[in-house]
A = this chain, B = another copy of it.
Amino acid sequence: MGDGNPRLLEARRLIRRVRRDQAREFLAEGPQAVREAVATPGVVLEVFGTPAAFDQHGDWLAEAPVSLQPISDKAAAGLSETVHPQGLIARCRFLDVPIARVMGGSARLIAVLAGVADPGNAGTILRTADAAGADAVIFTQGSVDPYNGKCVRASAGSLFHLPIVRAGVYAEIRAELAGAGFQVLGAASTATRTLGEPDTDRLLRARSAWVFGSEAHGLAEIESAAERSGAVVDEHIRIPIWGRAESLNVAAAASICLYASATAQRHSRS
């Protein structure tokens, strides 16, 4: 397939968010992401690969019911957003579902990204939410695009594992969560309730949505926007800081919070 091929040019345009949103398609790069993508029915439209990549991954690719498009190393680099392209890229359909779909009866743990701007952080939270057995991850309008190439890569395949929602403003999500009986939790350094204490553990057993704010301002942004519409969360919870760090990285904080909830919920059922 020549580098001037229209399908390749079309795929390349998906590196930009505006084009992704028009086409409702995105690129998943690298063997791990492509493998998870082809394992998800109805998601992959085609897989672009260099001869070396098709050679190396031919075994599982041959069994996948997807169209394989051979491309040059140069073309693969053009589709890639990484420093060391691995020569394998899947063009995929958007996977996100309406918010109502993830609030169903059995859902117990949801992560909400409300202003998380760094795609590496967002993808890492997606991966951790998957590992912790969360039921969904919701991205507000003010967060990075979940289909951003760096986010897809940082999620290490988890984008294909659990439902994601691309939602509007936080206030709408807050209302939906409340309506579905979720308590909404947010980490805050000034909270009196502390993670790791027995009282907090008991609280965490209930159906919960954890809200994670922006890298720079935490929950302050949505809190100032919400002043008129009521409390942003039901409970603020403090992650103790025993050293001299001012705060934690948002993905590190999310790991601690989501695992605390998942552990508390599971122990309460056993």
- Tell me the A residues contacting B by CB distance below 8 Å: 120, 124, 127-134, 154, 156-158, 161-162, 196, 239-249, 251-256, 259, 262-263, 266-267
Contact = CB atoms under 8 A, between A and B. Distances in A.
A131 B248 contact: yes
Given A124-B249, A156-B249, A248-B255, A243 B196 contact: no
A239 B262 CA distance: 12
Contacts of A259: 196, 239, 256
Contacts of A253: 255
B158 A244 contact: yes
30 contacts: A120-B120, A124-B249, A124-B251, A127-B245, A127-B248, A128-B245, A130-B244, A131-B239, A131-B243, A154-B249, A156-B246, A158-B243, A158-B244, A158-B245, A161-B243, A162-B243, A196-B263, A239-B259, A240-B262, A240-B263, A242-B262, A242-B266, A249-B251, A251-B251, A251-B252, A252-B252, A252-B254, A253-B255, A256-B256, A256-B259
A238 to B, nearest CB: 12
A244 B162 contact: yes
Contacts of A161: 243-245
Contacts of A254: 252
A133 to B, nearest CB: 3
A101 to B, nearest CB: 17
A252 B128 contact: yes
Nearest to A132: B242
A202 to B, nearest CB: 15
A156 B256 contact: no
Contacts of A156: 245-247, 249
Contacts of A240: 262-263
Given A156-B245, A239-B259, 10 more contacts: A124-B249, A129-B243, A131-B243, A156-B249, A161-B243, A161-B245, A162-B243, A162-B244, A196-B267, A256-B256
A268 to B, nearest CB: 13
A244 to B, nearest CB: 4
Nearest to A266: B242
Of A196, A241, A253, most buried by chain B (CB within 10 Å of CB) is: A196
Nearest to A123: B249
A248 B243 CA distance: 24
Given A244-B162, A262-B242, A249 B128 contact: yes
